[in-house]
A and B are shown apart, each in its own frame.
Chain A
Amino acid sequence: MTTANLVFIVMLIALASYWLGIQRSIKVAGGKQQVKHLVSLPSQYGLLTAFWCGIPAILFLLLWSAIESSVIDAFLIDQVILSADGQVQQNMGLVVNNVKLLAEKITLSEDLSAATELQLQNAQFYILLNEKATLLKTLLTLVIAVGCVSSILAKIKHSFHARNNLERIVSGLLFTCSGIALLTTIGIVMSVLFESIAFFSQVPVTEFLFGTQWSPQIAMRADQVGGSGAFGAIPLFVGTILISTIAMCLAIPVGLMIAIYLSQYATKRIRSIAKPMLEVLAGVPTVVYGFFAALTVAPIIRDFGLLIDLPIAAESALAAGLVMGVMIIPFVSSLSEDAMTAVPVALKEGSLGMGATQSETVKKVILPAAIPGIVGAILLAVSRAIGETMIVVMAAGLAANLTFNPIESVTTVTVQIVSLLKGDQEFDSAKTLAAFALGMMLFITTLALNIAALKIVRKYREQYD
């Protein structure tokens, strides 16, 4: 039985136990009329029973799925070693994978002629293992569910405080849910950290951080560590910075001017039509921007280059950067508008009351007063630009050129993560692990930017509250 089906069955049992709990409590009370003598409502007894049935069973299922595959693998490896007369083969992972593939073929009743007898045996063993595991999982889940239900049903007595018990469970559940965000962060840190450590055991940190050659696909030298190419990430960092810089060069002035116009000059009417416009810009999925960059903007830029005899790469940093800038405009404008409207009106009136023009007031009073908020906004926008993936995947190149020239093709950290991990990949290869190392760099950078930005913005808010 699949895990999904099991979950469904557990839910059915929980539903049934809800009803059982109610019935039981009514019986304990001595009939429907006597229910008011119970310390809690019958529905509370029902809910409590349902929770007691569902939660342990589901938890067990989760735990089981987490460890099942690794346990089965361990058994399988033992068997493979056993079947090869105790010889430990060199490329164990490959052998095990072959066995698994074969097992899949057997279950799909495909052509098996290519397999050896030994392989077939192992595959059969693997299938058997899986069947046993599934059976065990199903049985244990059901036992847990039913066992918990009967034990809680037995507990239902006159004086049993279902309500208190229930409330404790519910607040425990809520607490757990609030922890998920934290778990996510821990999960992110763990996954990028462990894979990165594995990566750095194959490729030295210094080569990764300071190397200027990036070609993970091709082997450079036979004796090289990791055996598969160069992992100097400097060209990626430079490419990321280049494209982000182009984006910010467009987004900061335009976004800021929009924010200034909307917060200082615009009539209500203009605001009411400009806001949805910005929302559209902010809401367009990045894959659409990527399409626009690759198929509309890039050709235009290249054609323009031809016109003035300037050879511009088809996947120039300029195209990706400009479109990314467009994407970030609403981000900059809405956050800086917030910052500017937070500046007390008294300051604005003070300046205007001295005979300053609106623009002088903006430039000399409002902007300086709002600068921390605006800086926070820009930091967040930069972090956005650095982490943006689809636009660069579609419009920037794959070749790791080390250049600051915006009309050349560069690649970025996110592009490389995607190209290293897209499609099938074998784990543990330096190539795959490199993606996680890049992911770690990305995570650290954006996290630092976010923390700085949030800190600045919060401090600034306190100043005017």
Chain B
Amino acid sequence: MTKAVNESLPTSAVTEKIKLSLTKRHRSEMMFKSTGLAAVVLGFILVFVLLFDITSKALPAFHQHWVQLEVDFSEDNLRYSEGISLEDLRYRSTLRKAIANQFPDVKSRRDKRKLYGLYSTNAEFAIKDFLIANPNTLDTIQNIWVRVDDDVDIYLKETTSLGEPLVRVDVKEAQWIKSLVETGRIDKRFNIEFFTSSDSREPELAGVRGALTGTMLTMLVTLALSFPLGVAAALYLEEFAPKNKWTDMIEVNINNLAAVPSIIFGLLGLAVIINIFGLPRSAPLVGGIVLTLMTLPTIIIASRASIKAVPPSIREAATGLGASKIQTTFSHVLPMAMPGILTGTIIGMAQALGETAPLLMIGMVAFIVDVPASITDASTVMPVQIFLWADSPERGFLAKTSAAILVLLGFLFLMNASAAYLRRRFESK
């Protein structure tokens, strides 16, 4: 029998035998291939779900509802008299009067308090700023637009039947909102303030300007440090370093450093940069240094690859003309390797841009309203802002968080696209 297969049976018998299992094998082949395809499709679905989820959550943040108030800036209302600065007038009571005038039927104290809650806490400052900017409107009645409270904003964006209660808006409030809408006193506007204002405890007021500025400053520090350091280190290792134990050690060390969890760099920053060197907590300077240490391996590895790709003939030609090693390196090798180095740097910077964990360690998580003006001011950065907002209980921050994520992803996309563009141009040359 055994012999039969191999020896005496005509080969066509083997063919028959193979044919027996062929259908099954083809089926399992199909299965396997489909599984692979399914995995790829799953990847696409995940990307889609992730982006769709965030985008759909973010969209509401780009609009904000405003409500019109008829404010009576009478001297009586404001308790104004000669010699009192415009800063110190009674704006709160003026605002409340204006609100109460819109709803003459609301009488009880409790209802009134509820009513005031429909308007952003910032309304008082809005009318104050208005009067200070236009002092001649004193003693006139002005129509002023102020933001609605974040719960009202969400209600207006989500409700399908105006006037019906919804999450955190009860029947009475819903009716009031309805009457405001019907009298045309509510307006939906593009929320430009999201980009021009800084963090706030009130969702309707919070914006990303502070975090964006902090990110810019931190990235500047990172770039200013990591680019020269990374290129210098790569040049040394590729062009100057003798092949010995020391360089081997540095090489292994760089590879390992590239895979050290980012949070460890935060510990380093806290223990060394803040506690030993005494640099200020929460500052873009410290954040930049920590991110530099973190991205340095990426930049060094990419730069080395790029420098290695410069053909040796270039070096030989330059050296042949009497240029020293250093001259050859800086005026011939480095310029040719530059596109690759830049690509690596952009990728490293993109990594740094999205990094959060180490910055938590060095105190960039504080609630900071001011826009940082220098690299030693306390500040926060986009990813940390996202983290902070995501942690906030107010529902209004959900959209803000998602919108901030979109902004961050937008920057990342730009950076990666430019890296890809650079790489392609470089490769085609």
The interface size bin for chain B is 35 or more
Which A residues are in CB contact (< 8 Å) with B229? 177, 180
The A-contacting residues of B in range 35-75, CB under 8 angstroms, are: 35-40, 42-44, 46-47, 50-51, 53-54, 57
What is the minimal beta-carbon distance from B335 to any residue of chain A, in angstroms?
A: 17
Determine if B191 is an interface residue (Cβ-Cβ < 8 Å): no
Q: What is the CA–CA distance of A423 and B236 in the complex, to the nearest angstrom?
A: 40
Do the beta carbons of A436 and B267 come within 8 Å of each other?
Answer: yes
Determine if B115 is an interface residue (Cβ-Cβ < 8 Å): no
Do the beta carbons of B42 and A358 come within 8 Å of each other?
Answer: no
Which B residues are in CB contact (< 8 Å) with A447? 256, 260
The interface size bin for chain A is 35 or more
Do the beta carbons of A390 and B264 come within 8 Å of each other?
Answer: no
Q: What is the CA–CA distance of A180 and B398 in the complex, to the nearest angstrom?
A: 41
Which B residues are in CB contact (< 8 Å) with A182? 249-250, 253
Which B residues are in CB contact (< 8 Å) with A57? none
Which of B84-92, B179-187, B349-357, B421-429 sits within the interface? Answer: B349-357
What is the minimal beta-carbon distance from B39 to any residue of chain A, in angstroms?
A: 4
What is the minimal beta-carbon distance from B37 to any residue of chain A, in angstroms?
A: 6
- Beta-carbon contacts of A316-345 to B below 8 Å, as 1s and 0s? 000000000010011000000000000000
Do the beta carbons of A258 and B267 come within 8 Å of each other?
Answer: no
The residues of A with any CB-CB pair to B shorter than 8 Å are 2, 4, 65-66, 68-69, 163, 166-167, 170-171, 173-175, 177-182, 184-185, 187-188, 190-192, 194-195, 253-255, 257-258, 260-262, 264-266, 270, 274, 277-281, 283-288, 290-292, 294-296, 326, 329-330, 355, 357-360, 362-363, 380, 383-384, 386-390, 393-394, 414, 417-418, 421-424, 427, 435-436, 439, 442-443, 446-447, 450-451, 454
Do the beta carbons of A163 and B256 come within 8 Å of each other?
Answer: no
Which B residues are in CB contact (< 8 Å) with A288? 50, 54, 354, 386, 405, 408-409
Q: What is the total of A-B residue contacts with beta carbons within 8 Å?
A: 268
Do the beta carbons of B29 and A281 come within 8 Å of each other?
Answer: no
The residues of B with any CB-CB pair to A shorter than 8 Å are 18, 25-26, 28-29, 31-33, 35-40, 42-44, 46-47, 50-51, 53-54, 57, 228-229, 232-233, 235-237, 240-241, 247, 249-250, 252-257, 259-268, 270-272, 275-279, 293, 296-297, 300, 324-326, 350, 353-357, 360-361, 363, 365, 374-376, 383-384, 386-387, 390-391, 398, 401-402, 405, 408-409, 412, 416
Q: What is the CA–CA distance of A105 and B144 in the complex, to the nearest angstrom?
A: 40
Which B residues are in CB contact (< 8 Å) with A286? 354, 356-357
Q: What is the CA–CA distance of A435 and B254 in the complex, to the nearest angstrom?
A: 25
Do the beta carbons of B324 and A387 come within 8 Å of each other?
Answer: no
Closest 10 A/B residue pairs (Cβ): A387-B261, A285-B354, A261-B36, A191-B271, A257-B39, A177-B232, A359-B32, A389-B357, A174-B236, A69-B278
